[in-house]
Amino acid sequence: TLGLQGELTANGTLAPGHIPGSAKHFLADGGTYEGADQGDYRGDEQGLIDTHLGGYRAAIDAGVLSVMASFSSWNGLKHSGNETILTEVLRGPLGFDGFVVSDWNAHGQLPGCSNESCALAFNAGIDMLMAPDSWKPLYHSMLAQVQSGEIPMARLDEAVRRILRAKVKSGLFDHTRPSVEGQFNQLGSAEHRAIAREAVRESLVLLKNNGSVLPIRAGARVLVAGSADDIGQASGGWTLTWQGTGNSNADFPNGQSIWGGIREAVREGGGTATLSADGSFTTKPDVAIVVFGETPYAEFQGDVDNLDFAPEEPLAILRRLKAAGIPTVSVFLSGRPLWTNPEMNASDAFVAAWLPGSEGGGVADVLIGDAQGRARNDFAGKLSFSWPKNAVGEPLNVGQPGYDPLFAYGFGLTYATPRVTPTLPEVSGVNVTGSIVDRYFVDGRFVGPWSLMLRDAGGEFRMGEEKAGASPRGGVTSRAADGRAQESARTLTFGPGGGQALITAGPVDLNRQANGEMALSMRYRVEQAASGPVMFGVGGGLVDVSSIFSQGVGQWRTIKVRLSCLRDAGANLAAVDQPFWLTTTGAFAITVEDIQLASNEGDAICPAH
């Protein structure tokens, strides 16, 4: 608050270069049962105060001008309609006198409310309703509710006064305009990039450094593996797009990937740096840096059943390098601490880099030393969240009974304070067979527990790990094929009698994804045009894609169909056990890969039902 908004002064506006702040998402947004997005905090008031209130109290004391209410609930009562916390607590003992804003159409989730009408939220203490697509009917309904007395005029005056006060403090009614207004040359300026690079440098947390592998001598022969050259992955969600997916380095003008920063630092020191995504090499390196971690997500797309870092390829790379006698450094990208004991055991050094974004040079500033191997910058970052000892991850809040993390809140090694990390247990403590909601076939594999089923008039055949298979009468066949990588795809061939290819497992609820305008996405190449209609979708909700698949035979393309469209076509999104379905009545051949849910970036469609 003090950094971005600055100190408030009596009868004055915010200082130049500062903007109004918002403390969000009030309250216990990250403390819901089983970590569910828009979920429910289950506990008493003292638990809310002890664990979740601290940051808000500090922000309010610093004069933050607004607070955003959470989508979530407290013991089943939605915060957006909870007068106790929005009015009695915020305006009472916490002394907040700014305005309260709701989250995206959150008022529409309250009992008796819709996106277009909700007196309950306003009367409970929401001063500004976030209504991105429903503001006009909401305005008319609120006008009628004030005229009828359902919303007291005094309550309306109070909300208007709070909003105007924040606007006045922000300087919106001053004749002078902000000094940077219209100066687009400030975007990505050298000064701003230097600050961003400093933030990267100071946020890195060193969790392991056995044998003092770090810092790396600048003159060394360095192999860089994994996703080191992907600025999009290093930036995470809410980057250019909602989910942060589909971004390439070309979308970040003047940005530098982690690989770019390492290459620059090593070459300046007289060494050599080689990029090899799979960790292969011809000349044995002195050291290897493997960059890996979570792929971008936002909001509910980041919900997980446990804290196990599931992808297997990074661990395989680390183990191959270790077996070759090469010292390994892991740079882990994530929006949260995850259980990574196997990866730590396979690494000599392990760095939690979080999401460094477009200033990868900040990572190299700390990892790469000078020509003599002396540190140019020491680690300064400390854990702002406890690091889990197992994939269950509970409890992880300081002061909770049984608090016993792998690395405690505030932990972080430095070059000046070395410590040997022993071999860690590799028992996750969870059953890893739970359903993956949004990924079905990626990297040439069906993501467990999902599997491919082939059907024809003779019955069905569920495929396991085999690379090829066929339905009982051979009406549909599947075989491994090359896509973005070797055997990353499957070619589905339908005989003259047609058939179905579907992905199946236990049911999952995709209603939230549909409400967020997610889409069923597939990369494909038509090998043989269909002789009959082709239907695509999820179990119970199919759309006709015959005309789409009749175009561009032999060319790789991507199709995205909105889940809301498939719901309208009849899919029960509350219990989806077949999230992918491809069926035709005649001969047809298509190669598919990357079957998953993806965000709608204006490229999702709704074909005819």
Strand partners, 583: 500, 535
Spatial separation of the C-alpha atoms in residues 537 and 502, rounded to whole Å: 9
Burial classification of residue 245, based on how many CB atoms lie within 10 Å of its CB (0-12 exposed, 13-18 middle, 19 or more buried): buried
Phi and psi at residue 584, to the nearest 5°: -150, 160
Return d(Cα 137, Cα 140) in angstroms, integer. Answer: 5
Which residues are paired to 224 by β-bridges? 275, 289
As a dihedral over the C-alpha atoms of residue 491, residue 494, residue 500, residue 505, rounded to 10 degrees, the angle is -20
Which residue among the candidates 299, 305, 487, 601 is catalytic per the annotation?
A: 299
Annotated active-site residue 308? The verdict is no
Q: Report which residue type is found at 127.
A: D
Nearest C-alpha neighbor of 606 from the set 548, 552, 555, 553: 548
CA distance 216 to 273: 12
Q: φ, ψ for residue 365 (rounded to 5)?
A: -55, -30
CB of 493 closer than 8 Å to CB of 431 = no
Q: In angstroms, rounded to a whole number, what is the distance separating the alpha carbons of residues 491 and 259?
A: 34
Q: Please provide the DSSP assignment of 531-546 as one string.
A: SS-EEEEETTEEEE-H
How far, in Å, CA of 316 to CA of 337, rounded?
A: 21
Burial class of residue 373 (count of CB atoms within 10 Å of its CB; 0-12, 13-18, 19+)? middle
Instruction: Using CB atoms within 10 Å of the CB of residue 271, give its burial: 0 to 12 exposed, 13 to 18 middle, 19+ buried.
Output: buried
Alpha-carbon separation of residue 338 from 301, 309, 335, 522, 577 (angstroms): 16, 6, 9, 28, 28
- For strand 328-333 and strand 349-354, is the pairing parallel, antiparallel, or unpaired? parallel
Which one is catalytic: 103, 116, 359, 365? 103
Q: Please, are residues 450 and 469 in contact by the beta-carbon 8 Å criterion?
A: no
Going 427 to 429 to 432 to 433, the CA torsion angle's sign is positive
CB 456 within 8 A of CB 473: yes
Select from 457, 497, 503, 459 the least CA-distant residue to 478. Answer: 503
The two tokens of residue 267 are 């070459």
Alpha helix positions (H), 31-106: 45-47, 54-61, 83
Residue 202 annotated as catalytic: no
- AA identity, residue 257: S
How far apart are alpha carbons 374 and 381 in whole angstroms?
19
For the record, the structure tokens of 606 come out as 């709704």
Among all residues, which ones are annotated catalytic? 103, 299
